[in-house]
Chains A and B, each alone.
Chain A
Amino acid sequence: EDQVTQSPEALRLQEGESSSLNCSYTVSGLRGLFWYRQDPGKGPEFLFTLYSAGEEKEKERLKATLTKKESFLHITAPKPEDSATYLCVVRNYGGSQGNLIFGKGTKLSVKP
Chain B
Amino acid sequence: KAGVTQTPRYLIKTRGQQVTLSCSPISGHRSVSWYQQTPGQGLQFLFEYFSETQRNKGNFPGRFSGRQFSNSRSEMNVSTLELGDSALYLCASSPRGPGPGQETQYFGPGTRLLVL
A91 near B107 (CB under 8 angstroms)? no
B55 near A97 (CB under 8 angstroms)? yes
Q: Check: A104 CB closer than 8 A to any chain B CB.
A: yes
The chain B residue with its CB closest to the CB of A43 is B107
Task: Give the number of residues in B that approach A within 8 Å (Cβ atoms).
Answer: 25
Q: Check: B105 CB closer than 8 A to any chain A CB.
A: yes
Q: Residue A46 contacts which of B42, B45, B104, B109 (CB distance < 8 angstroms)? A: B104
Q: For this complex, into which size category does the number of interface residues on chain A fall?
A: 20 to 34
B104 near A87 (CB under 8 angstroms)? no
A102 near B43 (CB under 8 angstroms)? yes
A34 near B105 (CB under 8 angstroms)? yes
A43 near B50 (CB under 8 angstroms)? no
B48 to chain A: closest CB distance in Å?
Answer: 7
Near B by CB (< 8 A), chain A positions 69-112 give 87, 91, 95-100, 102, 104-105
- Which stretch from B14-22, B68-76, B77-85, B95-103 is at the chain A interface? B95-103
Q: Residue B103 contacts which of A32, A36, A44 (CB distance < 8 angstroms)? A: A32
Per-residue interface assignment for chain B, residues 85 to 116, with 1 indicating a CB less than 8 Å from any chain A CB and 0 otherwise:
00010101000100011011111111010000
B103 near A45 (CB under 8 angstroms)? no
- How far is B96's CA from A34's CA once the two chains are assembled, in angstroms? 15
A83 to chain B: closest CB distance in Å?
Answer: 18
Q: Check: A20 CB closer than 8 A to any chain B CB.
A: no
A36 surroundings in chain B (CB, below 8 A): 107
B92 surroundings in chain A (CB, below 8 A): 43
Most buried by A among B48, B103, B106: B103
A34-B104 contact in complex given A41-B112, A42-B110, C-beta closer than 8 Å: yes
The interface of chain B, by Cβ under 8 A from chain A, is 4, 33, 42-45, 48, 50, 55-56, 88, 90, 92, 96, 100-101, 103-110, 112
The interface of chain A, by Cβ under 8 A from chain B, is 31-32, 34, 36, 41-46, 49, 51, 87, 91, 95-100, 102, 104-105
Q: Other CB < 8 Å A-B pairs besides A44-B107, A46-B105, A100-B105, 5 of them?
A: A34-B104, A46-B107, A49-B103, A102-B42, A102-B43
